[in-house]
Chains A and B, each alone.
Chain A
Amino acid sequence: EPEVTQTPSHQVTQMGQEVILRCVPISNHLYFYWYRQILGQKVEFLVSFYNNEISEKSEIFDDQFSVERPDGSNFTLKIRSTKLEDSAMYFCASRGLAAQETQYFGPGTRLLVL
């Protein structure tokens, strides 16, 4: 069964460093998302992406964040200058056609900012 994959599974970085989190959505999906979950808290929406552009973003998704679909398979989240409070589990999700509502999540990348 097709699944969303994410790399790396864990990343440790120093405050102020740039990180890129990578996702490979399910191959025929058209809608892509990033969510995050701070330890012990609820899952929060960051951004949605469709037709090569951001379709919606949350207040969390400020100028330090960016997303890109550099080729036909990868979907990346970049944090330009990480802060301690960026430490969280980051989930990528994808969805098929508009009529297919289910969002399929990847296993997540655990980011720790020191």
Chain B
Amino acid sequence: SQQGEEDPQALSIQEGENATMNCSYKTSINNLQWYRQNSGRGLVHLILIRSNEREKHSGRLRVTLDTSKKSSSLLITASRAADTASYFCATRGTQGAQKLVFGQGTRLTINP
């Protein structure tokens, strides 16, 4: 399967520190997207990185993609309490499928 897996499953850090979350997947992808979900709420799109890209930035977010290792990382710099949420990676495959395959997510807690 194309299943994505994030690690760690849970991460707790102090406000102001950087948070790094990792995602691995199994098959070739067209792109990889990161989403954020506040508890019991909807999915908010954060950033998309295509398979031919290696790094992308958006504000305090930095995403890397290593297709040889089939892995991606999401770095949130200078974390804030409001960053507390679950973060999911989702991959879109190459075989015409438009669906996104989500990982289990990382539960990030920022302590003030």
Contacts and interface: CB of A to CB of B under 8 A. Distances in A.
Interface of A: 31, 33, 35, 41-45, 48, 50, 55-56, 58, 89, 91, 93, 95, 101-108, 110
A56 B92 contact: no
A31 to B, nearest CB: 6
23 contacts: A35-B102, A41-B104, A42-B88, A42-B103, A43-B43, A43-B88, A43-B100, A44-B102, A45-B99, A45-B101, A48-B99, A55-B98, A58-B99, A101-B31, A101-B33, A101-B48, A104-B45, A105-B42, A105-B43, A106-B42, A107-B42, A108-B42, A110-B40
Interface residues of B, number: 24
A44 B112 CA distance: 33
Given A101-B92, A103-B33, A45 B100 contact: yes
A76 B36 CA distance: 24
Q: Is the interface of B mostly helix, strand, loop or mixed?
A: strand
A59 B100 CA distance: 15
Given A43-B88, A102-B48, A103-B45, A48 B98 contact: yes
A106 B45 CA distance: 11
Contact of B100 (A55, A89, A103): A103
Closest 4 CB pairs of A and B: A107-B42, A105-B43, A45-B99, A43-B102
A105 B99 contact: no
Given A56-B97, A103-B45, A110-B40, 19 more contacts: A31-B98, A33-B99, A42-B103, A42-B105, A43-B90, A43-B100, A43-B102, A45-B99, A55-B98, A56-B98, A58-B99, A89-B40, A93-B43, A101-B50, A101-B92, A102-B33, A102-B45, A107-B41, A107-B42
Interface in B61-112: 88, 90, 92, 97-105
